[in-house]
Amino acid sequence: MLSSLAANYSVCFASPVHRIDKQDFTDEEATNVVLSLNSSEAKIVIVFSESFQSSMVRLLLKARDLDVLERFTWVFSDLWTDKFSERADRGWQAKLLEGSICVHPMSRQLFGFDEYFMSLKLDHQQVNPWWTELWRSHFGCRDDESTKGQCDNPRATVRDVHGAVPMRQARYLHFVRDAIWAVAQALTDLQRDRCGGEPGMCAAMSHIQGTVLRDYLARVQFNDVNRNRFTFQNGRDGPPRYSVLNYQRTIGAASSPASAAGPPRYGWVSVGDYTMNEDGSGPHLHVDSASIRSRADAPLPSSTCTPTCRAGQIKTRARDACCWYCRGCGEFQVRQNDWTCEDCPAGSRPTPDHLQCLLVPEEHIGYTHPWAIAAMAVASFGLVATVLVSAVFWTHRNTPVIKAAGRELSALLLVAELASYLVTFVMVAPPTNATCGLTRFALGFCFTLSYAAVLTKTNRIARIFNQCPGAGPKKTRYTSPGSQLVITALLTSVEALINLAWLTYEPARVRDHFPSRDVRQRICVGLDNYSYLVGLIYPLVLIGLCVVYAVKTRKCPGGFNETRHIAFTTYTVTIIWLAFVPLYLASTSTALRTVTLAMSLSLSGLVQLGCLFCPKVYIVILKPEKNTKEVVMMSTCHRTLGSTGTLPAHHLTTNPAAALVKARLEGRSPCPSELGSDMSPAMAGSLADHDEALSLSH
């Protein structure tokens, strides 16, 4: 019971309870008890005893002999107060208990009782039938003549008989007064209820059941001698009223001005109480700490075995169950209670006092990030270059070189490159749901638009120059500019559908990413894994097909098409992606992944711009003399022309394109015999379509 209640008041028992048998408590047992107490960090020893036993004194003497008596503050039950007051107020027994504490029922002087008692006479027998017996016993009255005067004088008071010898009022007399008041109050309430205002005993009170009187007793309320509210607790127990006493040196104390008055004397001094408040609330403990004296006026011992932990520290159990040592929480932990720490959530750090977790500042890539600045610089350069190339193509759109490049698909390629550069600024912007969705859609779409156009070009050339000679007089279909745009749109729509389905299945959104405990990043969902590569699968397939067609058309007549430039572009972009995809997969930095994707888009666009458009811009701007129909048509068969510009006769039947060019330069249509027996009518028609595209007529 005591142990369970102690926890409610932050009291801990370090040493186990020792039950001492007063009949058989040997010196060896006393030694074991003292050593057990001394092995703990306890500083307070509580002693409950039913009687003043010699075994208790033996325990104190053993503590003194082992030089540990002064280490403890001893707290005794009420019996020790009376016994030590009677037996020892000086000498070695008193020195044993100097500075000890005792709790016992409250001792209060009942004011006015001494005067009342000293004025009583023998006629008080009429009120108290036991008074005569008490009188005779107290004053030693006998039946002989020796005490007849003082025992039989009806006018003599207690003061007259007792003389000048002082009388000491019993300590607990006020409890008797409260008991009488409680019964009187209960009877008064009972008489008022049963007799209806009739004075004295009425017939209804002639017989009272004990349970009835008990119920009235449970409800009584009045003020005791200290004007504290008296009421029974739970209807049966009296209010708690205890005094806290300290055994002090009263004469000869170091702080006493009468220290030279004589040998040291000791006594119990009241230093506090445990009572109900005047309003009936409580009970409360009231202690005057300044009145407590320790042994030889030494400083009062601390009731704890460790100092108070600082803010942010927790207690860790030491060897003693009641003691602890203080330790700080971890770098990312906060103090949950006195004994435990808990981890802060990811992306937060504790305050300096480790009492609460605070979110760390959010990080995200933005326009001020160094890597983003580098990516935007490359994209800006590509934008400016693409705009300039577009201006040149628009200005010279009707010249042979520009016409030979295929104006429609060239314009589509320039739009795709511009989109690739612009997407960089979206990708490095602070993440939002909109920018995340646009990035996921445009990443694969821009690649697809570019290489769908390139694939359409190479496929057209391959279909023209790789027809089987025995296929019959069938003209190659879908080689006109309009057909090329439709094919490109169909190829690009596949990627658009893939991206729309992907965004529908997994909508774009922003979330917090925690690469480490103290880093909180805002990123697009999917950027920290491989899901962004889903949109690149289809364009990578197109790049692979471009490589295949570039290989197949590598032997086509030079100058008739851009196969060599397209092949170089495709090979270079493939190398770029072979470098950037592993870098993306291996990187753990979301910022680096974002920049990797942005740079791959920009570099791919620059490669296309440099390989497919710069040669034509060079001719248009710096070599205008080559931007003529004759030169462009002659470049178609530059591998077969001699140094004089004439066409060798033995090539006329082996190179149908050369024969077509020669006939056009002579201002006539080629004869079937000039095109060669191996050239099908369909191929001739396709070459004628291409030749018609180079026409400069209005």
SS (H, E, C) 205-234: HCCCCHHHHHHHHHCCEEECCCCCEEECEC
Which pLDDT belongs to residue 51? 60
Which pLDDT belongs to residue 263? 67
Residues of the chain with pLDDT under 70: 1, 15-17, 21-24, 50-54, 82-93, 142-150, 164-166, 251-263, 278-280, 465-476, 554-562, 630-698
414: exposed, middle or buried (C-beta count within 10 Å: 0-12, 13-18, 19+)?
buried
Cα 570 → chain centroid: 51
198-215 burial code (b ≥16 CB/10 A, e <16): eeeeeeeeeeeeeeeeee
For Cα atoms 181, 184, 190, give the angle at the middle one, nearest 5 degrees.
Answer: 140
What confidence tens digit (pLDDT) does each residue in 327-357 have? Answer: 889 888 999 888 899 999 888 899 988 889 9
| CB-based contacts of 289, cutoff 8 Å, min separation 6 | 271, 300
| CB-based contacts of 546, cutoff 8 Å, min separation 6 | 451, 454, 455, 458, 566, 570
The answer to whether the 113-227 and 375-466+480-627 domains have the same CATH topology is no
Which pLDDT belongs to residue 462? 77
Report long-range pairs for 278-286 (Cβ below 8 Å, ≥24 apart): 278/223, 278/227, 278/228, 278/229, 279/229, 280/221, 280/229, 280/231, 283/239, 283/240, 285/244
> How far apart (Å, rounded) are the C-alpha atoms in residues 604 and 473?
41
Which class does domain 375-466+480-627 fall in?
mainly alpha
Q: Are 73 and 100 in contact (CB under 8 A)?
A: yes
Query: Could you say which architecture CATH assigns to the domain 113-227?
Result: 3-Layer(aba) Sandwich (3.40)
Task: Give all strands (DSSP E) within 296-408, no chain letters.
Answer: 313-317, 324-328, 333-335, 341-343, 348-350, 357-359, 362-363
Tokens, residue 596: 């990797």
Which pLDDT belongs to residue 465? 67
**SS3 label, residue 162:** helix
Which pLDDT belongs to residue 262? 59
| CB-based contacts of 448, cutoff 8 Å, min separation 6 | 491, 492, 494, 495, 538, 539, 542
Q: Are 189 and 219 in contact (CB under 8 A)?
A: yes
Report long-range pairs for 480-485 (Cβ below 8 Å, ≥24 apart): 480/689, 481/406, 481/407, 481/408, 481/409, 481/693, 482/408, 484/406, 484/408, 484/409, 484/456, 484/457, 484/460, 485/408, 485/409, 485/412
Which residue carries 């180079």 as its tokens?
Answer: 694
Domain map (residue ranges) of the chain:
1-106+241-303, 113-227, 313-359, 375-466+480-627, 633-693
- Cβ atoms within 10 Å, residue 456: 25
Closest to 410 in 3D by CA, of 566, 538, 564: 566
CATH topology of domain 1-106+241-303: Rossmann fold (3.40.50)
> How far apart (Å, rounded) are the C-alpha atoms in residues 487 and 478?
9
Query: What is the helix (H) or strand (E) element at residue 251, kind and residue range?
Result: strand 242-251
Tokens, residue 569: 């572009």
